[in-house]
Structure 1
């Protein structure tokens, strides 16, 4: 059985998000990125979720977006629109979903493999140790020194990561940029590798770039645009989460969405209408990922979502 993407495993993700071993701009240079990674189910369940980019997970230093699994079906639960299977490969059990109407409309491979003499399983057992030894367990040796645009870019990236750590540890719900600029541990990063003492304007510009990058990731957003520039932390804004969940619960039962679920852009438009016009697509995606991790919604193909 083939998993559609590593994101399907988010419901059973137990480990905390990890700092990404590589900047996202370098992920495409990793040979594992973008392919169906053939991993043991135990390792899939322990993948680390990427901080900046939804739908990307890490096995050690390798970015994973899709997985391919093969095992024995040990559980089955049929629902109105889907069938859930528990697949066991001897290292663990993972849940997979097959969508009934979607499978009838699309010409895709079956979920079940006829293998009476275990030919496929034996081939898999021989293949996986080779893949782990030669690819998955090898540390990515992509150099970041020559690919960083400049020292300033590296400084902004470091500050961006440190701010995310600060927000995660303190669980603050909102902040002004000048409040971050008063935190010594953050200011030290903004001043690093500086041959001459930084003036306040230079520090402010570095913080401004890092905050803009966090907005692009969806980590933070502005509910109301204006000179005050109050930033809300997406993961802590419960009102946004509740509004998004209500939209999906209500609209996924409508005739035009009942088959595949609510499309992503429809959800974004509804959130902007009912909650705030300033919410970015990246922030909405981050909320959807969190709701799916909590098993409150389910993602279908082509970025459609339905209530769990």
Structure 2
């Protein structure tokens, strides 16, 4: 790899998630709740490239939403209903799996003492019937997980409830609540508290690692790098200067140690994202770039094409865990879950495979 003459170009627009390392996302309270957003903003959320299913409103990582709107479209499929919900700012598709609620509530009833199971099953059937009876013009509150399917943003619903509201109290309440939430939470960047020198140092190290991590990704992408050793990256001045924590340190050995440690953290983080991986594990072994490793893509696609025709997978497609197990057996035992997921996302983006439901995949 000719890395000595390569230069990293500064991106004109920084990704939203770059402002906070992924290890700190769980500290942001917006990340853990069903975020109440305008549908227009839900449709415009930036997608996190390294971690599927995570989206960003400004600096806030979001995985699930709570929306209130009117059903303007309804389509029924064999296994689910697809409702188009409009809140006046936009329309988004909301999926409701027909058997989803029944299975979850059966588990709940089975684990609850003192409840009549038959009564619970009757209530579940009523719930399913009420969900299928939602019609155009009904006002509904939808909660669910966000996902992109074939470049279309949609909500994989965990609950859809009809709002009987002749006085529009729920809509007025939502209209008053949303500006407050935007003003006091969503539009404000999340800031970590820095109460001690140890926390300050840890935060600084995390931000530095994130910055280097982002620059390495830019470098690998811009130069079409297929593989590299960590020591090769450490020799690039434009990367090494980012990793140098204490610029006033008089000791060359101290500076070299700092640079090496930050590079280790950044490379480890890239492995956790699935951006890079090691076919043969080891501290000084070769790192492969997932997006450029064509053999891995070919093996994964071959597994899905062959196995999705088997009777047990022909309806739903191959489950993710099955694909990962086969990839580890056929290609390398060291391939991580994140790496396999990144390959699947790339194959789906290229329309070579289709995700059918909850991490099941079939050849297109």
Partner of 1:274: 330
Deviations 1:129-178 (A, max 9, x none): 22212211122232467254376555434322321232233342322323
**1:182 lines up with 2:235 in the alignment:** yes
1:38-88, Cα deviation, whole Å (9 max, x unpaired): 111111122123354332222112121211222233334444433333322
- Aligned pairs for 1:77-226 within 5 A: 77-107=75-105, 110=131, 111=160, 113-115=162-164, 117=166, 118-143=168-193, 146=199, 148-149=201-202, 155-194=208-247, 195-199=249-253, 202=257, 203-225=259-281
Structure with more contact order per residue of length (Cα contacts < 8 Å, sep ≥ 6): 1
Please give the secondary structure, in 2, of the residue aligned with 1:163: helix
1:81–1:259 CA contact under 8 A, matched in 2? no
Where 1:72 maps in the other structure, the secondary structure is strand
Residue number among 29, 54, 57 corresponding to 1:56 in the alignment: 54
CA spacing shift, 1:84–1:240, aligned 2, 3 Å: farther
Which consecutive unaligned segments of at least 5 residues does structure 2 have?
A: 1-12, 106-123, 132-159
Q: TM-score, normalised by structure 1?
A: 0.78
User: For residues 184 and 262 of structure 2, what CA distance do their matches in structure 1 show?
Assistant: 40
Distance 1:100 1:198, change over 3 A: farther
User: In structure 2, the residue corresponding to 1:277 is in which secondary structure?
Assistant: coil
Taking a change above 3 Å as real, the CA distance of residues 272 and 150 of structure 1, as seen in their structure-2 partners, is same
Match of 2:360 in 1: 305
CA–CA separation in structure 2 for the residues paired with 1:294 and 1:92: 28
* Alpha-carbon separation, structure 2, partners of 1:17 and 1:245: 30
- CA distance in 1 between partners of 2:250 and 2:356 (Å): 51
Which segment is superposed worse, 95-104 or 178-187? 95-104
1:269, CA displacement in angstroms?
Answer: 0.6
- Consecutive unaligned residues in structure 1, runs of 5 or more: 1-14
